[in-house]
Each structure stands twice: as C-alpha cells, then as structure tokens.
Structure 1
Amino acid sequence: MSSTPIRYSEFPKELPTDDPDDVLFNSLYGVRTIELNRPKKLNSLNGSMARKILPRLREWEKSHLANIVIISGAGPKAFCAGGDVAELALQNKQGPEGQKKSADYFALEYKLDHLIATYSKPYIAVMDGITMGGGVGLSVHAPFRIATEKTVFAMPETTIGFFPDVGGSFFLPRLDGEIGTYLALTSERLHGVQAFYAGVATHYIDSSVLAQMTSRLSELVFNDHATLQRRLQIIDSTISEFASTLPSPDSYESAKHGDLSGDLREAIDRTFKYDTVEEILSALRKESESADQKLAEWANATQKTIALRSPTSLRVTLRQLREGRQWNISETFVREHKIASKFMAHPDFVEGVTARLINKPPTKPQWKPATLAEVSETDVDEFFATPSEEEALTLVTPYEGALDQRYTEYPHGVFALPTESDIQNVVRSYGRQGSKKVVEEVLKKWNHKAGVKEKVQEVLARKTVSTDGKAISWKSKGAHL
C-alpha cells in the first residue's frame, strides 16, 4: 500500500476577478460540452478556467439528464497548448509568496485532472489541434481521447526547466516500451494519427465530422440501469462510426521522427531503457554509429535535443517515470504537486520560461546547475520526499459511482488500441497457429477497431520470431531488439 496520504477537500470557488468567458458550457440533449475559450492564448489553462470547470463537472455528475461530457478548444489551432506558465514565472520572481501562489495553481489543476481521471460519467476529450502540458492533463486520463489530422501532442516541460506533470508520472510509463521515456526527455511531437498509434489517443477522426459526431452522441439514450462500462461501450461504438481510413503515420512532413514503429521504435526501446540519463546518452552515442543512416541521424539529433534540456529536469523526469510506474492514480497527483512546488522555487523554471517563451526572439536558457554531473542524487531526492499530511495536495471528494481512487492501471484501456502486452498474451494463446490467427483473435477482441490490424502486424514483425515459417513466439528479452 502507498504511504502517500490521500485527503479530500471541498470544491474551489470562483473569484470576482475571474474572466466570465474563458470557458463556455453548453447542452445538447444528453451531451454537456466544455469549450476552452482563449484561442489567442491557444486555450492555455489558467486558474479562472479550472475554477469554472471543476464545479460544473460535479453538477453534471449529479444530473440525471447529463449523459456525456465533451471537452474541446475554441479556434482552429489548439485544444489546449498548456498551462499559463508565463504568469507563473512572473509570480515566482516575487519570492516565496509568489511561489506559493504558483504551487496553489498546480493544486487546482491537479484536482481537476484527478477528477477527470476518476469521473463517474463518460468523458470525451477532442484533441483537435495543439495538445500539450495542461491540455494533456484535461485529456489523457479520459476513457475517450480523439485525435484528428490537426493534433500535435507533446510534453515539452523539460524545455522550460520543469517536468512532465498533469499525471505524466502515471500515463507515460504505461505507454508501450520506452515511448513514454522518449517523449518525456525529448519533448518529441506526435502528429495526428501518430498519437493514436502511440496509445495517447483512443480514436482518430477527421476534424470535418466532429460536429456530426457530437450530434450523434447527443441522441444516445441509455437504459437507467446501464452500468458505466455499458454506456462507455455504446459510446465507443458510436465514435467508431466516424472513423474513416487512417492516414499513414509517415505522412506528416513536420514530424521528422514521429512514426514510432519498426527500426526507430526498436532503437527507442534500446536506448531509453536505462535508469540514468548518462546511460541513455551513451546508448544514443553508440546508436549514432549505426550503419542505418536514418537511425544514426535520429540518434545524433536526439543527443543534441537532450543536451539543450535542463539537467535538473532530466534527472527528476527520469526518476519520476521509473517511480511513477508503481504509483496509483491519486498518489500520482499528490506526489506531482510536491515536485511542482519544489520546481517553483528552483531557478530553472523561471529561466526556462523566460528564455523560451517570454523573450522575443527566444534565447538559450542558462541552467543552474549547468551540467548533469552537478545535479546530485541528494538534489533529486528532495523532489521526491513524501509530502507531510499538512502539505499534501487535497483532492476533491469523489461522487457516488466514481472510479476507484487508487487504481494502478487505466480502467478503460480496452477503448484504445491493444498494448504490446495485450498482443503478447494473444501470441501466447494462439501463436502456434501463426500470425494470421493472432491478428484475427486480436481484431475479434477489439471489435474490429480501425488501426488494430496495422498495429498488431507492426508489433508482430518487431517482437516475434518463427522457426518453422508458421508458428510464432515472442522474442525473449535477451534476443536482439
């Protein structure tokens, strides 16, 4: 059992200074919509928005008329590009009082993310456009996460002297292989269908049919006695009606290394499996000597990318991902709040935000400490000290029907593509009958979901061997990756 204290408190209240129009709420029959409405700021999340969304989500939990919640962003560019970190950096410059205000903002944000992660009603996040940082917290813990051709997903926190928060400790280590470690340390962007194949999104839909999908969902009528799981299954089938032909993950010009499959994926798992940043960099140096020119280019570029990041952020992030694999969903946000509060008092956050986001044009951050060697284990330990009962983040009291507050695996995994371990289990049962049989069985289990066949075929090509030309078995760990 976790030793991290889990405590609950009441909902935050709106303040007189809050912007009345930064979030728009609407109803369409059984659907309740949340529209983040700061398009000029790429719908960046702030305290005013969180204070509105939290009580509204609770109100809908209590309403028999509210069947489904859908969250989206206003304007053509972004779902939500992150939190309003420029404001936090300015506050932090005021010293301990300002840093406490910034820590309080993260408390508010994490309460909201945790409520979404354990919500008692179906919740759909439409990741149409830029989805980063704070936008990831509003979407990635939901049972349904819709990517479109405009989706640009990233966790760019190490770029600004921070760490991948908003529950990143939970969802990143639970992605296949070392995808989560790679995304966290490099801030690599996933475009469109790449977010779907990586397991970040559960569905891929063209943005032109989103309005029709919302109308169709609003018409759904659930039996009063239907369980949450049954309702989610009906919604899953309905969303799937709008999934058309999937584009190729290689079709995004702006994503040089975005298709995380085949040889590149093997290289990611090979190089990012280590528990120290130095070992990862060493593995990348070795990879940069590869005879495969594309892999060598990728390894060189990745080394340069990591060298630009805050050394403190890199060390804290890698430890966070390794430890977070053991944290439950509530513990995740309590522990992350402690880490975030510590970063508010660390010089790298103000330096990173100022250099990368406030200065025009952006400048190169001067990190303190400047090198990995100068960041000691004791320095990192301070971020991971278990919070005392007094300082521990309080979460909002769960409503009747809420999900288990201490789950350690997402309860709705079946709505995304199968994971590699799901596929491995089917190989164990049916591998003797060949790859075709394995693909058939996974397709049947996942209700012939779009993208399943492609993912299974890619995983089988990378992870299985055949000795007789038909029967397949999973490669042992010692085998060449």
Structure 2
Amino acid sequence: MPTNDPVRAHTMQMSSTPVRYGDLPKELPTDDPDDVLFNSQYGVRTIELNRPKKLNSLNGSMARKILPRLREWEKSHLANIVIISGAGPKAFCAGGDVAELATQNKEGPEGQKKSADYFALEYKLDQLIATYSKPYIAIMDGITMGGGVGLSVHAPFRIATEKTLFAMPETTIGFFPDVGGSFFLPRLDGEIGTYLALTSERLHGVQAFYAGVATHYLDSSVLAQLTARLSELVFKDHASLMQRLQLIDSTIAEFASALPSPDSSDAAKYGNLTGSLREAVDRTFKYDTVEEILAALQKESESADEKLAEWAKATQKTITLRSPTSLRVTLRQLREGRHWNISETFVLEHKIASKFMAHPDFVEGVTARLINKPPTKPQWKPATLAEVSPADVDAFFTMPSKEDALTLVTPYEGALPQNYTDYPHAIFALPRESDIQNVVRSYGRQGSKRVTEEVLNRWNHKAGVKEKVQEVLARKTVSADGKAISWKSKDANL
C-alpha cells in the first residue's frame, strides 16, 4: 500500500483494467472561494456544500477543494471523523452541474474534453471516499441525486432523514448512472438497482433506508446534536478503522427513534419496495435486454392486482420516455458492474462518460429537461431501441488505454483495499437478503422466530432489522410443517 511518501504516479493492474495513481488536483485562481465550507469541532471535520441556490450541485471548483482537504485530514492525528452535508433546507447535493457540461459539449471535441475532465475530477473524489482511511459520514438530508450520490453511497455511514429524496435520474437526460453506480446499484437486493437505474424512480425518506441506500434513518432535528456527540468521541490510538466505525455506529444508534412507515410520505406513490411490488420488480427487471423487461412489464400490466397493473403500466411508459442509448448502456453497465472492483469501476465509468459527452443525447436531454423552460420532450438519436445496435453499445465499453485511463488519487496509508469487490463496511446497513438467506440455511429448521433473533443479534438489534427480516421471510421462505422454514427455490415466485 502506498504511504504518504511524495506522490509518484504508478500503474496497478486490476482484472484487465489499467488503474493508475497520481497527484491530487490543485485549486484554480478562478475557483469560487465559498462554494464549500470546512470546519472543525474537536475531533470532527465538516464539509458543507455551499451552493444552496443551485441545490448544492457539485462542480469542479468544489471537487478541487474537497480532495486536498480529505488528504490533509488523513494525515492529521487530530481529525477523527469527516462529516459531509449540504447548506440550505432543500438539498444535500442535487447532482453535477450538467447544464454547464452540455454548454461545453456544444463547442465540439475541445469542449467535450473539458467535460470529460470534470468527470475525471469527480470520480477521483468518489473513489477516494470509497476507500478513505478514516470514518466518513454523509448526511443525505434533502435531495440526493447524481453527483450527490457519488459523495454519499460509498461511505460507511449514510444517514437518511424525513427530507431525503434519492434518485439516479441520468437516463432522463441521455446519460447513465455513474459516480460508482456500476458498483453500488447491482449490490442492492434483487433488482432494486436495475429498477432505480432504468426508471429514475425516487425514494423518499425512510424508503432509502429500507432499500439499502442509507445505513441509518434519523429525524433531521437531531443532526446538530449528533455532530456534537460525535465530536466528543475518543478513539484509542491503536484502534483499527473497523473498531472506530463500530463505535460511531453505536453512537448514531443512540439518536434513532421509531421508524416511520415507508408509505408515510405522500410522494411515495407505491410505498416501500416490499411484498408483491418487490416481487414484481425482481420478476420484471431480472432480464438482460430492455425489450425483455418491457415485455415482462406488459405481462404484469395485465395482473389481477390493480395496484400492480397500474405500477407496471406507469413503469413501462416511463422507460419508453428514456434515451434508448442510455437504457441499453445502463443495463449492460449494471450487469457487468457486478464483477468490477471499486477502483476499476471509476476507470471504466470515466470511459463511458467521455463517450457520452460526444453523443447527441446528453446535450439534447439536458437542454430539453433542465434548460428549456418549461421542459420539452427530448428528441433522442437514435429514437428507438431497435436502432441502437450491439456495436453502438460496445463502443462505450472498449477498454481505455493506459495513457487514456483515469488517474486515481494515490491511496494514503491505512486506506481500504483498492480492489475490493464488496463494501467492507456493508455490516452497518440493514442486512441484505443474502445475509438473511445464510441465517435461514443455518437456523431455518428452528423457525422464523429463531432466524429473526439470530439476525437481530448479529446486527446489534439495529432499528429496522426486525421489520426487514420479517418482510423478507414472508416473501422468500416457505414452511412445510408450520414451523421450520426454507428459502424458496429461485423460480418459485416468478
């Protein structure tokens, strides 16, 4: 593992993807001095995104400030915990400043190169967060989309509140769910990630917690108290990163109160992704082509369950409004991303993003949906799925050369492994279905109550665990004798 010696660019081969490391970016004289605010409170270091009028959208100036500050705090023995949040009442971070990128792209290859350089900067930051050597907490209070997802979802702690509004809306603007979405989304339970990616569906408040996007759910009124409490924590000098994270996890748990119903938000039209709706999501989004997914939704729209039929019709319509190129690239990205490690994810996404900067759909989508007032309907090119050939999609997934590959920030001593294929800190979120399945294998013969007790013990009686386990057992297990339970065969509910 590289240490804090003077930075020397070098190449590390991971899978077949060239992964190179190099210097931190430097601030520019033209950068806004106040778009990010940094503060210290005893052992806590805070990052506040400070563009509330722009919903704290991330730009190059902000990334160039945050990167060196994160490295500075890695070196400091006084900095124990990093907390990132957004200024104002509406947003954590509503994404990247895509309107500026679309304007640049109109300039041709030179402008497109500038846009690709912005994504390089953003992905360096996201990858550093994903492998950071110190505890990092993201407060997802308000709108958390696009670039805001990159600043939060790879963190060991992701706190949702009643104001959280999470989405990956990239296919709406002729792009793809980047910022590490290739890694994060396929590792959500079942086909939740595929569903969120292709539809841009929004998760409200506690929905983000139950879906696995957030690790904790707190009321926004306690956030200031939480920061104060975290600032008082004292770690033993020899404590490992995992031991520090465990102490933080138990501290955050002190502020958790009764969880609201996933259906409590008026905007959460279909409620939580559970029960029959969740089964329908897994049934319809399991396929590897967009056409098969649309056909499955068509079949679902004929369901005797009126709510499911309504959901299927609306979802089918939503997908047909998206960029056909974006849909094809996104679905392949999610299927391949299951096998990518954390660092190559950002290298390969940078290649895809650069390709999109030269594609007409990005400028068209941003202009139609975000710049035009009122928004207009994008005219995609190609206009239909049938016109997007396998060769068109392949062009987004060609391996970058060593010279063209994104250069990541050299990791600091104590950083997480650069090539992990699952989050080392996944234990701090709710248990995944696979975790529950493993417990069923060991304890299922003793009944659902015993399984629930075992998962609760393993997750330190975390708020929400009991509810999730009961929902998963109801949906995924069967009982032959009324007590012992076993996991359903793969196709039992399809």
TM-score range, shorter chain: over 0.9
Q: 2:214 aligns with which of 192, 195, 201?
A: 201
| 2:227 corresponds to | 214
CA distance in 1, matches of 2:322, 2:43: 46
| 1:431 corresponds to | 444
Indicate yes or no: 2:400 matched with 1:387: yes
Structure 1 counterpart of 2:435, one-letter code: D
| 1:454 corresponds to | 467
Report 1:134-173 matches (<5 A).
Answer: 134-173=147-186
Per-residue CA shift, 1:219-278, capped at 9, x if unaligned? 000000000000000000000100000000011111212410000000000000000000
Report 1:235-314 matches (<5 A).
Answer: 235-314=248-327
SS in 2 for 1:131: strand
The TM-score with structure 1 as length reference comes to 1.00
Report 1:126-137 matches (<5 A).
Answer: 126-137=139-150
| 2:110 corresponds to | 97
Asked whether the equivalents of residues 188 and 258 of structure 1 are also in contact (C-alpha less than 8 Å), the reply is no
CA distance in 2, matches of 1:96, 1:450: 51
Asked whether the equivalents of residues 439 and 455 of structure 2 are also in contact (C-alpha less than 8 Å), the reply is yes
Report 1:6-17 matches (<5 A).
Answer: 6-17=19-30
Asked whether the equivalents of residues 190 and 258 of structure 1 are also in contact (C-alpha less than 8 Å), the reply is no
CA distance in 2, matches of 1:412, 1:395: 22
The TM-score with structure 2 as length reference comes to 0.97
Q: 1:400 aligns with which of 413, 432, 446?
A: 413
CA distance in 2, matches of 1:429, 1:477: 18
Asked whether the equivalents of residues 210 and 430 of structure 2 are also in contact (C-alpha less than 8 Å), the reply is yes
Asked whether the equivalents of residues 35 and 74 of structure 1 are also in contact (C-alpha less than 8 Å), the reply is yes
| 2:70 corresponds to | 57
CA distance in 2, matches of 1:255, 1:352: 25
Indicate yes or no: 2:339 matched with 1:339: no
SS in 1 for 2:196: helix
Q: 1:444 aligns with which of 435, 453, 457?
A: 457
Q: 2:374 aligns with which of 361, 367, 386?
A: 361
CA distance in 1, matches of 2:338, 2:167: 20
How large is the RMSD of aligned CA atoms in angstroms?
0.5
CA distance in 2, matches of 1:453, 1:416: 13
| 1:21 corresponds to | 34
CA distance in 1, matches of 2:45, 2:287: 44
CA distance in 1, matches of 2:90, 2:207: 18
| 1:178 corresponds to | 191
Structure 2 counterpart of 1:465, one-letter code: V
Structure 2 counterpart of 1:182, one-letter code: Y
CA distance in 2, matches of 1:464, 1:360: 50
Unaligned residue ranges in structure 2 (runs of 5+): 1-13
CA distance in 1, matches of 2:278, 2:458: 25
Asked whether the equivalents of residues 189 and 258 of structure 1 are also in contact (C-alpha less than 8 Å), the reply is no
CA distance in 2, matches of 1:139, 1:478: 34
1:9 Cα deviation from its structure 2 partner:
1.1
Runs of 4+ in 1 over 6 A off after TM superposition: none
CA distance in 2, matches of 1:260, 1:387: 37
Structure 2 counterpart of 1:192, one-letter code: G
| 2:477 corresponds to | 464
1:425 Cα deviation from its structure 2 partner:
0.3
Structure 2 counterpart of 1:416, one-letter code: A
Asked whether the equivalents of residues 20 and 407 of structure 2 are also in contact (C-alpha less than 8 Å), the reply is yes
| 2:488 corresponds to | 475
CA distance in 1, matches of 2:395, 2:406: 17
Per-residue CA shift, 1:188-246, capped at 9, x if unaligned? 00000000000000000000000000000000000000000000000000001000000
Aligned residue pair count: 481
Structure 1 counterpart of 2:75, one-letter code: K
1:480 Cα deviation from its structure 2 partner:
2.1
| 2:11 corresponds to | none
Per-residue CA shift, 1:158-198, capped at 9, x if unaligned? 00000000000000000000000000000000000000000
Per-residue CA shift, 1:409-467, capped at 9, x if unaligned? 00000000000000000000000000000000000000000000000000000000000
Q: State percent identity of aligned pairs.
A: 89
Structure 1 counterpart of 2:104, one-letter code: Q
Report 1:65-80 matches (<5 A).
Answer: 65-80=78-93
1:121 Cα deviation from its structure 2 partner:
0.1
CA distance in 2, matches of 1:478, 1:374: 33
| 2:6 corresponds to | none
CA distance in 2, matches of 1:480, 1:162: 33
Unaligned residue ranges in structure 1 (runs of 5+): none
1:478 Cα deviation from its structure 2 partner:
2.5
Asked whether the equivalents of residues 181 and 318 of structure 1 are also in contact (C-alpha less than 8 Å), the reply is yes
CA distance in 1, matches of 2:258, 2:85: 23
CA distance in 2, matches of 1:387, 1:41: 33
Structure 2 counterpart of 1:392, one-letter code: A
SS in 2 for 1:120: coil
SS in 2 for 1:76: coil
Structure 2 counterpart of 1:241, one-letter code: E
Structure 2 counterpart of 1:445, one-letter code: R
CA distance in 2, matches of 1:95, 1:217: 48
SS in 2 for 1:159: helix
CA distance in 2, matches of 1:447, 1:247: 20
Per-residue CA shift, 1:92-141, capped at 9, x if unaligned? 00000000000000000000000000000000000000000000000000
CA distance in 2, matches of 1:329, 1:146: 22
Report 1:42-53 matches (<5 A).
Answer: 42-53=55-66
1:479 Cα deviation from its structure 2 partner:
1.1
Report 1:372-383 matches (<5 A).
Answer: 372-383=385-396
Structure 2 counterpart of 1:153, one-letter code: F
Structure 2 counterpart of 1:61, one-letter code: E
| 1:106 corresponds to | 119
Asked whether the equivalents of residues 279 and 493 of structure 2 are also in contact (C-alpha less than 8 Å), the reply is no
Structure 1 counterpart of 2:254, one-letter code: E
SS in 1 for 2:137: strand
